[in-house]
């Protein structure tokens, strides 16, 4: 069976093993999602879609000012 082929099986296994397999599956899919997000971010940088450090500092300062005014 090739690596891209899939087959679903059904079996009774100990709960601990089932939890471990589920955790491993979640970690695998989280890693793939994280990798796709990193690649998308790098593509944004390549296209020049970035925010300057100074603009970020100004934005953070504005949030702090808004928070102070709310109190």
**Residue 3, pLDDT above cutoff 80:** no
Do 7 and 1 form a contact (C-beta atoms < 8 A)?
A: yes
Say if residues 44 and 50 touch (Cβ distance below 8 Å): yes
> Looking at residues 11-37, what average pLDDT do you find?
92
- State the Cα–Cα distance between residues 57 and 54, nearest whole angstrom: 5
- Categorize the per-residue pLDDT at 20 as very low, low, confident or very high, splitting at 50, 70 and 90: very high
* Euclidean distance between CA atoms 68 and 71, whole angstroms: 5
| Average pLDDT of the residues in 33-62 | 95
pLDDT of 1 > 60? The answer is no
Q: Tell me what pLDDT residue 71 has.
A: 64
């Amino acid at each position: 069976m090739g690596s891209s082929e899939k087959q679903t099986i059904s079996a009774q296994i100990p709960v601990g093993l089932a939890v471990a397999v589920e955790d491993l599956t979640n970690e695998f899919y989280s890693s793939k999602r994280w990798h796709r997000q990193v690649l998308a971010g790098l593509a944004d940088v390549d296209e020049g879609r970035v925010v300057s450090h100074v603009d970020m500092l100004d934005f953070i300062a504005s949030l702090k000012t808004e928070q102070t005014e709310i109190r």
